[in-house]
Structure 1
Amino acid sequence: MERTVRTGIVIDAPPERVWAALVGFGGHAAWNPCLRRIDGQAKPNHSLRITIRFGWLPPIRFRARIDRFSRNEILGWRAAFFLGLLTGRHWFELQPLDAGKTLFIHAETFSGALSSPFLALLSGIIRQSYDAMNRALKVIVEQK
């Protein structure tokens, strides 16, 4: 069974500016309360080392592989946890809007035997963390 956590925000900047902040992995620690560290390159099929933080929970470190990539449009990766009993497909979509704005979609689909209990316990804090990242991204991009 698959379950998705989906959030979004309108950013007053074109997709190119949002993309630049999103793929500027070295700068995430300075502004991103959720994705605290990303090591690797934003390129198709590249491997990433990611440190994520959901609210009050301790940081989680994992490896992921970029499986969705279209410059200024979509960035996504896939990671497996607990010997493959939980899989996450995390992605960001940038949709251009009128007046040079961008609809930023931040989502993750969870699947596997542990997805239902995992989300029963943590979907609220995951959503809050993604919303916090969205707001922080909006601030950092709109300041430029």
Structure 2
Amino acid sequence: MSKEITTTFEYQATPEQVWAVLTDFDAYPEWNPFILSLRGKPEPGARWDVFLQPPGARGMRFQPLVKVWESGHTFAWEGSLGFRGLFDGYHMFRLEALGGGRTRLIHGERFRGILAGLILRFIRENTRKGFESMNAALAQRLASQS
């Protein structure tokens, strides 16, 4: 079983427009059904405070470490359940310009650790639905701003 969940979504908006909405963390409560709260500095090495709730699952708060911040293109964080190596997740958002004012979002997470296979059996589907609901809500948010 793959220990990765990857979704893609294409938007009728430029990468700059998508990035502006995707990184306006203060506005997440207004539109984001998956990541309900995200606070912290947008820079590698920062600790963020994140509260997310996949559809059909309990919400969880955690403090991941920002691993990548490439303004206008990519950001990613890494978090662990308990201690590092037990169940770790590397969550990533990457934008690709498609031309014609369109953008592709690659939104995914790679899991590893002793319990990754076991835990993924229980959370895979709800997590994928959470990513997809966020991707679709981002499209609606972009459309409402144009």
**Residue 42 (structure 1) aligns with:** 42
Query: Counterparts of 1:55-66 in structure 2 under 5 Å?
Result: 55-66=55-66
TM-score normalised by L of structure 1: 0.95
Q: Within 2, Cα distance between the matches of 1:22 and 1:45? A: 20
The 4+ residue runs of structure 1 with deviation greater than 3 A are none
What value does the CA root-mean-square deviation take over the aligned residues?
A: 1.3
Counterpart of 1:97 in 2: which secondary structure? strand
Partners of 2:79 and 2:89 within 8 A in 1: yes
The equivalent of 2:72 in structure 1 is: 72
AA aligned opposite 1:106: H
Structure 1: give runs of 5+ residues left out of the alignment: none
2:129 corresponds to: 128
- 2:68 maps to amino acid: R
Report the counterpart of residue 81 of structure 2 in structure 1. 81
- Deviation readout 1:64-96 (Å, 9 max, x if unpaired): 111011111101000011223100000000000
Quick check: 2:57–2:126 contact (8 Å CA) kept in 1?
A: no
TM-score (norm 2): 0.94
TM superposition shift of 1:47? 1.1
CA distance, structure 2, for counterparts of residue 96 and residue 46 of structure 1: 27
Partners of 1:2 and 1:112 within 8 A in 2: no
Helix, strand or coil at the partner of 1:130: helix
Q: Say whether the 8 Å CA contact 1:66–1:77 is kept in structure 2.
A: yes
1:95-114 → structure 2 map (5 Å cutoff) = 95-114=96-115
Superimposed CA distance per residue, residues 19-43 of structure 1 (whole angstroms, 9 cap, x where no aligned partner): 1111111110110011000011222
For 1:47 and 1:2, the matched residues in 2 are separated by 28
1:2 Cα shift? Answer: 7.0
Structure 2 unaligned spans of 5+ = none
